[in-house]
Structure 1
Amino acid sequence: MTLNPNIMQAVERLNYRVTVGDVAAEAGLDVNLAQQGLLALASDAEGNLQVAESGEIVYCFPKNFRAILRSKYLRLRLKEWWDAVWKVLFYLIRISFGIILIVSIFLIITAITIILIALNSANQNSDSSRDSDGGMVFIPNFWFSPDIFYIFYPDYYSRRYQRQQPSHFDEKPSMNFLEAVFSFLFGDGNPNADLEERRWKAIGTVIRNNRGAVVAEQIAPYLDDVSTGYDREYESYMLPVLARFNGQPEVSPKGEIIYHFPELQTSASDRGYQSIAAYLKEFPWRFSRASAGQIILAIALGAVNLVGALALGSLLADGTVAAQIGGLVAFVQSIYWVLLGYGTAFLAVPLIRYFWIQWRNRAIATRNEQRQERAIRLNEADEHLQEKIGFAKQYALETIIHEKDLAYTTERDLIEQELEQTNRIDAEWQRRLSQEH
């Protein structure tokens, strides 16, 4: 069985001694999946099982279990190696879009300059009476300033701010310009990529905080679709929660349903009440983490690239120009549609993404408001809901398995443990007999 990284992280956070319920609640995993994953991890990482007299099982792991796994499995070592390599590759991919933009602008302006110089020379040869300055080509100094090369350095903006900004300017962008170009084009990833993980961890924590017995209204602030009409009245939205954490519905004499989760009522340690947000909050999408100055510069360069490409296209409309000049101009003509397409997409993609983000964020705000309203209703519980929560507390239970509660552990010799158990049983009988007399 493939080892689950979420289970390994949960074991580390829980100090390497856990029950199935501990891991299921901490990682927000299905109880059965957590049990299978713990068994696989204990088998591969030299873990031990501790069995309480009540029959509950505690899993104990060495603190260096990751090193043990790495020494056993080449696949894990390769995965860690690939993760390190991918970080470098992805960084190169990110900065490549900025590099392509700069190269595109350089090729376009250079080609335009060469074409204008060539046309100017041709006009001078055909009309010797033309003023020698009439065909002068003005090339902005910006493009040939050595300062342009600083954008390839990660601390480009900090250098520019140090030279140009007042001494009281302290805020610096968290990314260089080449990274900012990628952020401008494609954003910075889904802020809610871990939403499902956060959802189930929150639900597991709520159940543990209530000692394994809850009502639907306590879980609703962490769900998206709580249905309407009869489905909401009959609380069918709780079915996925029951399936994930092996819950059992219980009905009060008044017909109220509460949900009991025996697996989450047993723990290897007393963690106390865990603080948790009142409802699950989705984060709005950001257009870009780049600074305003970086975004403005990216838009400006994108506009220069697009306008330059259109101007170059008009100069290349006569196909004989590139053929006569050859060299770089001929090469640029061969990739002209690539340059024009990149210039168009460079401005079109962020524009489309901007409107998509606005629509996406409105939907996120609506869902957040709905979950917040459910949390408010729970905090302002009426008499009926309070009575329902009170009934759920009848099923609330928390069992902490301490070392003294163990009947057996794989960490020690079986014969030695049986001898200790015999001695303990004899001592308990002697204590009871003395109390009777």
Structure 2
Amino acid sequence: MDQIKNNEAYRKVLEAFKNQRKGATIADITAKTALPLDSVRELVGVAADEYRARLQVTESGEILYSFPHGFVSKYHGFRRNLSRTMEKIKKGMLIAGTWIFKVWIMGMLVGYFVLFMLIALASLVISVAGSSSNSNNRSSHRGNGLGGMYFTSQIFNLIIRIWFYSELTKSLDGRYYENRRAKPKGRPLYKAIFSFVFGDEDPNGDWASREKRSVIAYIQAHGGVISLPEFMTLTGLPPEKADPAILSCCAEFGGLPEATEEGTVVYRFDPLLLRADSQDRSFTGLSAIIKRLKSFSSNKKNMNVWFGVINGVNLAFGTYFFFNAMNIGGLTSQTPIGAGLYPFAVTHMLFSGLFSDPLPFITIGLGLVPLIFSLLFWLIPGLRYLRLREENEAVKFENMRKIGYGRIWENPREVKAGDLPPDIPECRPRNLAAAADKIIKELGSYAVPDVTLDNRGNPVYTFTELAREKDALKKYRSSLDGSTSSLGKTVFDSEG
């Protein structure tokens, strides 16, 4: 596992260098990868050796790394080539395995649906043919044959009704047929089915890295200094979790706590200021990135409805065949064929030509397997939907906490609970009043506010200590000497 993590970290370092063609320092690569400072130092040294980096030592003592000769490894031995080949094979096998699994799900869903529809159609045809060939027993045949097809005919009727309703809905929207030819090609069916069952990729899958990069960018934009309330706003962490988290950041990125003249604790990250990247990292206020909500599926609603209908048909047929196989067993010439047993009897007859005893195939292949698959096909997305609601609710509160902390920090002397909820849907949990009250109480555990009432009787909170900390931080930043973060001129160049 450690080797996998190291390979992934090394890949991130190389990608960062490829996007920084004019050269970069350790601070630049740290800001782009959000990897710990010590890890970046180690991996940059490995990359510099493998790809023959150009080293330029500046007056500040910082090294500027660049790769004018490209990224062609100097290692061409058998073991190195074998290692790269194995990595490509593993990656290819993972992609192939995922694709096969998606195709298998599609094959099970669509394959069983087509098979059951063919069985139903064959039963209907045989029933009609049987009733037509024996005019003396027409009424009897209709009772046992066509009457026995009520189950399958209702399935056909349901599918036709849903299809007609779908087409009618589309026709009411004139744009559908006007733009039908201009619409881009849809996603493959196996991907759409997989999306319905298991959902899509997590939109916040790289969140830890994105959040660290935003914190680093804020630090670099503010003289290498950050306070705990600012860190809480950027990360959405309550005070009891933010305190150990910022100390962890200090360990990762070379930060040190320091007290101002007023006794306020700030955190300095001087190593992150030694940058070659001239990109402006200034912030407009204290803006925090927010998480995106997870969607149940990227499919259109009518497509998911169709998947549900098809799976419902499979579930109905699977239950039907499994129930009859377990209760009736094998059919003989003496077995009475009632109305509800006719499709089972026709299937038994059809597969008698392929199997000496078709009962095991009907029990397992047409009964148990599609029955279990259909239940899981509904159970998995059903449980995922319930979990998704709770996860999105937690995301909304975390996002609102960031915005709320930011608004309190912006104006700590006059805070009203009603001013905290933003208009962004991703930041509005179900109970806004309770969420706002919780946010104020959380921040109140860090800096206790004074409470007064306005003209309407609503509480107004004054975070006096927070205001003093903000003023002390502003004064501290204004006293910093920006020249200490300058790289200076190049005093040594490995390429002359």
- 280, 289, 292: which one aligns with 1:283: 292
The corresponding residue for 1:227 is: 239
CA shift digits 1:296-350 (9 cap, x unpaired): 1111111111112122234323111377753375423232211110011111211
Where in structure 2 are the equivalents of 1:290-301 lying within 5 Å? 290-301=299-310
Once the two structures are TM-superposed, the CA of residue 253 in structure 1 deviates from its matched residue by 1.9
The aligned residue for residue 423 of structure 1 is none
Q: Is the 8 A contact 2:223 2:477 kept in 1?
A: no
- Identity rate of aligned residues, in percent? 17
Distance (Å, rounded) in 2 between the aligned partners of 1:350 and 1:214: 43
In structure 1, the partner of 2:73 is 68
- Displacement, 1:18? 0.9
Amino acid paired to 1:177: L
* Counterparts of 1:203 and 1:176, CA distance in 2: 39
Give the match for residue 100 of structure 2. 92
Tell me: CA distance 1:105–1:332, structure 2 relative to 1, closer, same or farther (3 Å). Answer: farther
Q: Which amino acid aligns with 2:234?
A: Y
Amino acid aligned to 2:34: G
- Inter-partner Cα distance in structure 2 for 1:69 and 1:386: 54
Give 1:81 deviation, angstroms.
5.6
User: How many angstroms does 1:44 deviate by?
Assistant: 0.9
CA-to-aligned-CA distance 1:105-130 (integer Å, 9 cap, x gap) = 23334455667888999999999634
Q: Distance between the aligned counterparts of 1:280 and 1:63, measured in 2?
A: 37
Q: Is the 8 A contact 1:109 1:308 kept in 2?
A: no
Deviations 1:50-101 (Å, cap 9, x if unpaired)?
Answer: 1123322111223621x43786742335434654564454333223212210
Report if the CA contact (8 A) 2:197-2:377 is conserved: yes
* Offset from partner CA, 1:181-215 (integer Å, 9 cap, x none): 11000000222110101011111111111121222
Residue 259 (structure 2) pairs with residue 251 (structure 1): yes
Q: 1:165 to 1:133 in 2, by over 3 A?
A: farther
Q: In the alignment, which residue of structure 2 is the partner of 1:210?
A: 222
Deviations 1:7-64 (A, max 9, x none): 1122222225111111112211111111111111111111122112332211122362
Mapping 1:23-422, distance limit 5 Å: 23-62=29-68, 64-65=70-71, 67-68=72-73, 73-74=80-81, 75-80=83-88, 82-83=90-91, 86-111=94-119, 129-131=137-139, 134=142, 135-136=145-146, 137=149, 165-169=176-180, 174-228=186-240, 235-274=243-282, 278-316=287-325, 317-321=327-331, 326=352, 327=354, 329-330=358-359, 331-335=361-365, 336-380=367-411, 383-384=467-468, 385-395=470-480, 397=482, 399-401=485-487, 405-412=489-496
Structure-2 separation of matches of 1:296 and 1:172: 21
Query: Per the alignment, do residues 380 and 174 of structure 1 end up closer, same or farther by CA in structure 2, a change over 3 Å counting?
Result: farther
What letter corresponds to residue 99 of structure 1 in structure 2?
G
Given residue 330 of structure 2, which amino acid in structure 1 is its aligned partner?
T
Change (3 A) 1:45 1:216: same
The alignment of Structure 1 onto Structure 2 pairs a total of residues equal to 388
Q: Secondary structure at the match of 2:55?
A: strand
Contact 2:24/2:66, CA 8 A, preserved across alignment: yes
8 Å contact 1:26–1:204 — kept in the other structure? no
CA RMSD of aligned residues (A): 3.6
Cα distance in 1 for partners of 2:410, 2:69 equals 41
Q: CA deviation at 1:381?
A: 5.5
1:186 aligned partner, one-letter code: F
Q: TM-score, normalised by structure 2?
A: 0.69
Q: Whole-Å Cα distance in 2 between the matches of residues 115 and 333 of structure 1?
A: 18
What TM-score, normalized by structure 1, do the two folds share?
Answer: 0.77
What are structure 1's unaligned runs of at least 5 residues? 144-156, 413-437
* Aligned partner (choices 25, 28, 39) of residue 22 of structure 1: 28
1:37 is paired with a residue of what secondary structure? helix
Instruction: Tell me whether 288-297 or 70-79 shows the greater mean CA deviation.
Output: 70-79
The residue type equivalent to 1:320 in the other structure is G
Higher relative contact order (CA 8 A, sep 6+): 1
Output the CA distance in 2 between the equivalents of 1:351 and 1:386: 52
Partner amino acid, structure 1, of 2:319: L
Distance (Å, rounded) in 1 between the aligned partners of 2:258 and 2:127: 89
Partners of 2:91 and 2:411 in 1: CA distance:
48
Q: Cα 1:254–1:54, aligned 2, differ >3 Å: closer, same or farther?
A: same
C-alpha distance 287-319 of structure 1, shift in aligned 2 (>3 A) = same
Give the secondary-structure state (helix, strand or coil) at the position aligned to 2:137: coil
Query: What letter matches 1:401 in structure 2?
Result: L
Structure 1 SS opposite 2:65: strand
Paired residue secondary structure (1:259):
strand
